Amino acid sequence: MSRSIAYTSSPLLASRTPLWRSKFIVAAIALGSVGLIARAAYIQVVANDFFLKQGQVRFGRTLAMPANRGRILDRNGLILASSIAAPSIWAIPEDVERDPARLRQLAKLLEMPMTELDKRLADEDKTFVWLKRQVDDSVAKQITALQLKGIYQRKEYKRQYPEGEASAHVVGFTNVEDKGQEGIELAFNKDLAGRAGSRRVIKNRLGQVVEAVGEQIEPVDGRDLQLSIDSKIQFFAYQKLRDAVLLHKAKAGSVVVLDVVSGEVLALANYPSYSPAKRRNLSGAQLRNRALTDTFEPGSTMKPFVIALALEKGLVKPTTPIQTAPGRISIGRSTISDSHPHGVLTVSEVIQKSSNVGTVKLAMQMQPREMWSMYNQVGFGQKPSVPFPGAVSGRLRAYKTWRPIEQATMSYGYGLSSSLFQLAHAYSVFGRDGELVPVTMLKSSGRAAGVQVIDARHARAVRNMLHMATGPGGTAPKAQTMGYSVGGKTGTAHKQEGRGYADKKYRGFFVGLAPIEQPRIVVAVMIDEPGDGKYFGGEVAAPVFSETVQQTLKMLGIQPDVSVIPQIVAQAEEESF
């Protein structure tokens, strides 16, 4: 039997609690509840902007949806540049699982020392760090197989360049963000890049997508670009240029091939070059697109323009005799000489023998303004109309500042400067019967409309003189091409050094066209600072022209116009420069 308890006898229970205290407690609880409800309503309904923003900062993410960069194609549809999927590896350092064995495997797959990986994972930003951008797909799969917590991948694209160093200076390259940095990749970056898309998502602290929110913007892929370049002609021209630079122990070289009918650039190559996909430890010499960015005094390649102007003005005919004896001429206190005395030469032979004296005698019969106008009309002193970054205008001073000696030296290519591309473009005047053809790097069709600069008869007359320069008694017999008639002009110039000229440093160049009766192409070649004792343009540049012309015309389907027998004459006339 349980013992009975007398609760009423307890002093605590027997005490009388004031009624106001109970009411106060109930009122306090009610008031607190009302306050909490009001605060919740305020946060969630009235003033939720701040908290929504904080939630978005912590958990909301805008995921980029990269657009696929457009391809760069040659004129025949062969790929010069394209994009492939290349995942990038990133991490949330504070979440990375510290498993030494698997971390060592990760470092090995990323091709980085373990110390470097540790350094990146110790980064101040504990929520995001790049480990390596654009790895191969096979590497990405092996990293996934490691199942390391805190290691993630992002889809990106990497450019491939199948033609490598042969087309490097034309195509250029992109950076790790897939933005063009050089060449066509830079010039047409907006067209190639397209427009990236995006989508808004909610992520948890592990970086996993929990929910998609907002509207998704689909990416717009970049458009493909088809160039005028023929990759086969480009590769062959580059190969022959490289061989010549190495053979003559030269510093560098460039070659340009133009279609004078359509105005298309069929090839543009430089040596030394580089591989766009492997750009570590590159030098400025490798990256420079010399055909467009380097200027030089064009030497004797300017003489045909002076002769064309003399024909235009009616001063001479191709058969007009000019006395060049005793092989030198004085202008003021300066003396201009030929390589050796020639005596009486016709105007045609002035080009064939590359006589400085004969050219100067014709030039000094003209006004400086007339010579300047001729040079300007064929593009000297003007930036080429191709969208290449770094293309230069060269230097052509205002005719009002010319002194007599300067007018004389400019007639044979000293005192002004030009790029090789400008020189090739200017010679299209002789290939198009006096028309200057507009040039393009994009594929086009049909005959381009040119601007008439000189009379067609005079252009053909100069073309015949250029043909003589590549024949017996000319300065460039090594420019002759088996199966095709050619014409062109050699140039050899001392390199400028400081305020004067270097004694033993030269540039040798050759610019010509083929076939001679109905020209289809202009080819310009420059060899910079040959070091094997040969430096005349007819020796170092003309052979590259010859081989490039033969291969190019075959690829274009142009039928041979002369007997397919060896045409080359071994002995060349020594050039005056």
Q: Which two tokens stand for residue 13?
A: 């229970």
Average pLDDT over residues 464-470: 96
Task: Of 33-42, 154-163, 410-419, 489-498, give the range with the top mean pLDDT.
Answer: 410-419
Domains and CATH numbers, the chain: 62-109+152-226 (3.90.1310.10), 231-555 (3.40.710.10)
Q: Choose between 9 and 283: higher pLDDT.
A: 283
pLDDT at residue number 15:
62
Q: Choose between 390 and 314: higher pLDDT.
A: 314
Count CA within 13 A, CB hemisphere, residue 395. 12
pLDDT at residue number 53:
66
Please identify which residue in the block is written with the tokens 């797909």: 137
Are 525 and 552 within 8 A, CB to CB? no
pLDDT at residue number 296:
92
Q: Is the pLDDT of residue 59 over 90?
A: no
Of the listed ranges 215-219, 306-310, 363-367, 454-458, the least confidently predicted one is: 215-219
Q: How far apart are CA 117 and CA 305, in angstroms?
A: 64
Q: How far apart are CA 302 and CA 13, in angstroms?
A: 123
Average pLDDT over residues 495-512: 87
pLDDT at residue number 151:
87
Tens digits of residue pLDDT in 225-280: 999 999 999 999 999 999 999 999 999 999 999 999 999 999 999 999 999 988 77
- The burial class, CB within 10 Å (0-12 / 13-18 / 19+), for 452 is middle
pLDDT band at 299 (very low <50, low <70, confident <90, very high): very high
pLDDT at residue number 117:
87
pLDDT band at 213 (very low <50, low <70, confident <90, very high): low
Of the listed ranges 164-168, 206-210, 364-368, the least confidently predicted one is: 206-210
Q: How far apart are CA 436 and CA 430, in angstroms?
A: 8
Tens digits of residue pLDDT in 540-571: 999 999 999 999 999 999 999 887 554 555 46
b/e map 268-307, b = 16+ CB within 10 Å? bbbbbbbebeeeeeeeeebbbbbbbbbbbbbbbbbbbbbb
For helices 303-312 and 456-469, angle between their N-to-C axes, nearest 10 degrees: 140
pLDDT band at 479 (very low <50, low <70, confident <90, very high): very high
Average pLDDT over residues 401-414: 95
Catalytic residue IDs: 300
Are 552 and 527 within 8 A, CB to CB? no
Q: Choose between 574 and 157: higher pLDDT.
A: 157
Q: How far apart are CA 185 and CA 205, in angstroms?
A: 39
What contacts 281, CB < 8 A, 6 or more positions away?
none
Q: How far apart are CA 59 and CA 43, in angstroms?
A: 18
DSSP 455: -
Average pLDDT over residues 420-427: 97
What contacts 383, CB < 8 A, 6 or more positions away?
391, 392, 393
Q: Which two tokens stand for residue 63?
A: 């995921």
> What average pLDDT does the structure give for the chain?
88
DSSP 366: S
In angstroms, how far apart are the furthest CA atoms of the chain?
155
Q: How far apart are CA 28 and CA 37, in angstroms?
A: 14
pLDDT at residue number 522:
98
User: How far are the Cα atoms of 189, 201, 333 from residue 330, in angstroms, in the given order?
Assistant: 54, 82, 7
Average pLDDT over residues 99-112: 88
pLDDT band at 401 (very low <50, low <70, confident <90, very high): very high
pLDDT at residue number 1:
47
Average pLDDT over residues 29-38: 86
Are 549 and 486 within 8 A, CB to CB? yes
